[in-house]
Amino acid sequence: AVINSPTSTTISGAPDAIRQLVDHYKAQDVDARLIPVDYASHSPHVDTLRDTILRDLADITPTPANTPFYSTVTGQKFNTTGLTAEYWHTNLRNTVQFATTLTNLHDDPTTYIEISPHPILTPAIQHTHPDAQVVATLHRNQPPHTHFLNNTAQLPTTDYTPLYTPHNPHTTPLPTYPFQHRTHWLDAPRSKGDPSVIGQEGAEHALLGAVVQVPSTGTTLFTSQISLSTHPWLADHAVHGHVLLPGTALIDLALHAGGRTGAPDIEELTLEAPLHLPEPGAVDLQVTVDPPDESDRRALSIHSRPTGDPDTTAWTRHATGTLTPHLAAKDFRQLPWPPPGASQFSASEMYERLDERGYRYGPAFQGVTQAWQDGDDHYAEIVLPDGMEPTGYGVHPALLDAALHPIAFAALPVDGSQGETYMPFSFSGISLGATGATRLRVHIHDLGEHRVAVTAFDSAGRPVVTIESLTLRPSKPFSPAGVTGSKHLFELRWTTPTSHASPLQEASAAPSSWVVLGEGWPGLNVRGAADLSALRREVTDDTAAPRTVLAMPASHRADTDIATAAHETSFQMLHLLQDWLADDLFATDRLVVVTRGAVAALPDEDITDLTQSAVWGLVRTAQIEHPDRITLLDLDHDSSSASLAQALATREPQLAVRKGRVLVPRMARVTVQPSDDEPDLLDPHGTVLITGGTGSLGAHMARHLVTRYGARHLLLVSRSGAEAAGASRLEAELAALGAEVVVRACDTADADDLASTLDSVPDEHPLTAVVHAAGALDIAPLASLRSDQLSSVLRPKIDAACHLDRLTESVELKSFILFSSLAGSIGIAGQTNYAAANSFLDALAHHRRSRGRPATSLAWGLWEEDSDLRRQINDSAVERMTRLGFVPLPAAHSLDLFDAAMKTRRTVVVPAHIDGAALRPQADAGTLPAVLRGLTGPSVRRASADSSSGHSSESPNGLAERLLQQNETERQETLLGLVRGTTAAVLNHADSESIGTDQPFKDLGIDSLTAVQLRNRLSSATGLSLPATLVFDRPSPGALTEYLRSRLVPADDGRSGRTLTEVVDKLESALDSLDLDDEQWTGVTVRLENLLRRSRDRGHPPAVGGLPGELASATDEELFEALDNELESTDLD
């Protein structure tokens, strides 16, 4: 196919023949490998394309070239007028004479420039003409612009100016600090109290607590905390069932903040998001006023966040504006009152109409007593209801809000239809003329284009509040999605890891310490083993044990459908993980599961291997149940062994490499503004298919799509169909809401059954939306999970989704919504199968989006709702998940999150209640999954071992050191206390008094999942690698204590342990002082590992400090002599 150089040839042909040829040459130690393409160019296989090529290129017109052109078809100089369609067919069909062309070309030029995304031809040129200069334009692992300029600089200089045109380059200094794009707001006080006690001033406003001057910036910050308990009258301001802080309260806050900072008038104020007041609960409120500009104007912003989780809850911005020291003075004329000639209308009728449209004003806000209209002018008389005090406000928000009610009433459709409703959006020219008003006379003048001017007078005709312009805009029924979304909507974001590897870690990640299971990978020259059994046989005292074992799950084969391949790959990985984790021989080694194109680590990235995507969910759960044993790594097709080693050196549990860049996943909050456009989810005239439609979640979604999005034709399918419990009641309920409903029995995992169901959709109401909510759950720890349990959970998720994807290829869908699970994104103990199924759904959504097809995957946290899935999780498991930070979601809140998630237009969104306060202790103890680290805020200092709280975050080394200083009785008490305390913690007991020394763990309530938690916590506390069967092999706290003692303390008086600790200290100091290259570090690392391996293989547990127990009694001189013998080949001198 290609004659590249004197040392390189490319051959093409039939796949089987090529594979045989590669095997033949490999057997003769000739470097031979397959190129991953699915076509054989430059061979007779191209002949079938000849007519197509000639037809498609028939219209091209070759022209003469000024630069000499050499053809790799002929190997000679070529006239470019001959570059016809026939030439290009020959170019694709015949052998590429690259080496011949280079030979003929080299008579004159001596410099070659390869213009390509990555140097492919450069090696062939260098092999053919070693004396030639070869420059490549780009390199996939280098910054494109920088690499191009550096290489261009190697060529003869003519003129650099064209490189910068049309820019005028200049040198810009780098930032002195790596900005982290984090906002660190000051916490609002929980009660007003006396702000001066904490160095602040009182804000002197009923909705504010304190004011802080920030000297470094000149910013003024007003803080507070408000709730329905502190301000109960706010409960009377509700929109569509949600209590909102009235926009007039934001106006009064802005006026007060301006008055305190010398800019008392509001030049403009824009409302960006409603401020939802929870019940129960509270919100932290902040009003920020910036320093004055050259015109003495000040920028203002108002933010809030739910109280109680300051480190992990995002702030929502509700308003921005500009404050000014003075607005232009206006003349006011006295208005005759009541206005002559105006038509009076009923205030009670106005509130009834507003109530019908979802604007529920309680007594505190029903301040309009009389109202009139005269053409483009409205008038109203407003009274602050009894019991409401104006003290502490410029103008009471309830009074001013009532002044705007005639505007809302006038904007309602005259015919009573459900047309657009207009709400205040922006204000300009607001000034406060007087404070303390309890009555207002209001004049509202229509300025056109949905703008009005508002003037409020007191009974003497003096202006109290003036608003030069208030702009209204259409508003759909409000959902607090923006507020809840910012707290309970998440996504996985791939970012550069912040941890840096030490030289020892980098050495341990070097390929010299790797073993690859299976056939091996092209370009990775490391030791291989056919499988884990073969590796087990190879590991002997005389064979270097691997630090890292690489395994790549099977990729999708063209002759297998995706769902079947996903099952097979998941089974393969399940068995590998079970074998790996059950074998103590590999207890200190790391299994690296390597996939290619199984996750979307870059924006809008395609998933190129869906079958491997299920492995990510499966392995994520294995990592939760068995921390520090497995690494998950996804490579792109350009990744090298160097980038793989760089990734492994980070010690991160989950990674991806993209174009040489190492990325790690972190859960991050997604902010949604209610002003975002509503998603176009469905066509009311089309049919919506909901799988699992008769289940609890499916039923909730059916109701929501009808009431919120106007769905009128539903096809609800489940395995039981109309025979499902509650199906007939649901059908009747939806029909009463105006929807036509068909309930049908269908096994969506059966392609033929699903196809028949889709064929039943009537042509007059074609399928326009799909919601895949079906699923199954079968909880079991990884170690005991059976293949049938895996299959039964994969089938309704993966198989059904694949069939839906394929069978709707030709259908014009508006929505394709997959109900996934948080388990697939982070891993949840006991849900290995469920996590695998749902990570596949997330990947399928990315795959569809990359092909221009609609798809959204919602990775739900646990619903509070009683459902088939929820019933499979017992109460103790729910309590355990809640303690870990995963709080069940009420159904109504979940539906709000659905709305918010769909507004984001993101491919995969995680709607879940993740409690940051519950995550913090795990972060401090080092047990928090890495993917959740971004939700805990900055870490706190560890508690002292003598802390009065009784909780110590003592490190494993500290525990071991303390044990060495104790006598046998004290050691027993220390370790028994650790075991009992940890047991009480995983069982959520208030203390450890109820944990008996000889009481069986089974009787205490330890099940298979809490046993995993107990083992993991004890592993973290002791630094030991503990077996998966720990609790079952040592079935009581007493037995487990004795086992830990045998592992942690040498069987002597501890003196040798102290000697060994001193030697370890000396060794650490020596290693820190050495200046070694990568090869030497690798030698040191591997030989130290061999010491540990040989000790363990002889049945001796590692002693304190991590060195072999057999060395515990050695003297300093003997230890260093042994170490010198081990390291002599590294030439440390």
Catalytically annotated residues: 237, 401
- Indicate the DSSP class of residue 70: B
Backbone angles phi, psi at 895, to 5 degrees: -70, -35
Sign of CA dihedral 819, 820, 821, 825: negative
Distance CA 16, CA 1120 (A): 57
* Residue 439 near residue 381, CB atoms below 8 Å: yes
Strands 630-635 and 590-596: parallel
User: What count of other Cβ atoms lies within 10 Å of the Cβ of residue 921?
Assistant: 17
Torsion of CA 303, 308, 311, 317, to 10 degrees: -10
Per-position b or e across 158-197, b if 16+ CB within 10 A of its CB: eeeeeeeeeeeeeeeeeeeeeeeeeeeeeebbeeeeebee
Strands 219-227 and 343-345: unpaired
Q: What stretches of 28-81 show up as alpha helix (H) in DSSP? A: 50-56
* Residue 631 near residue 577, CB atoms below 8 Å: no
Distance CA 531, CA 528 (A): 9
**Cβ-Cβ contacts under 8 Å for 604 (sequence gap 6 or more):** 849, 850
What's the burial of 430, exposed, middle or buried (CB within 10 Å: 0-12/13-18/19+)? buried
**Cβ-Cβ contacts under 8 Å for 738 (sequence gap 6 or more):** 706, 712
Distance CA 1055, CA 412 (A): 87
DSSP 3-state of 968: helix
Q: Kindly report the CA angle at 978 between 975 and 982, in degrees rounded to 5?
A: 150
Distance CA 959, CA 1024 (A): 12
User: What count of other Cβ atoms lies within 10 Å of the Cβ of residue 938?
Assistant: 8
Strand partners, 428: 268, 469
Torsion of CA 151, 155, 158, 164, to 10 degrees: 0
* Residue 911 near residue 488, CB atoms below 8 Å: yes
**Tokens linked to 338:** 């009541």
* Residue 1002 near residue 1035, CB atoms below 8 Å: yes
Which residue, chain included where needed, has tokens 């109680």? 308
Distance CA 594, CA 548 (A): 12
Distance CA 637, CA 522 (A): 11
* Residue 674 near residue 247, CB atoms below 8 Å: no
Distance CA 414, CA 687 (A): 33
Rounded to an integer, what is the distance from CA 652 to the centroid of its chain? 16
In 3D space, the residue among 364, 360, 355 whose CA is nearest the CA of residue 383 turns out to be 364
* Residue 409 near residue 353, CB atoms below 8 Å: yes
Distance CA 699, CA 690 (A): 9
Per-position b or e across 887-915, b if 16+ CB within 10 A of its CB: bbbebebbbbbbbbbbbbebbbbbbbbbb
Which residue, chain included where needed, has tokens 């599961």? 593
Q: What is the CA radius of gyration of the chain?
A: 36
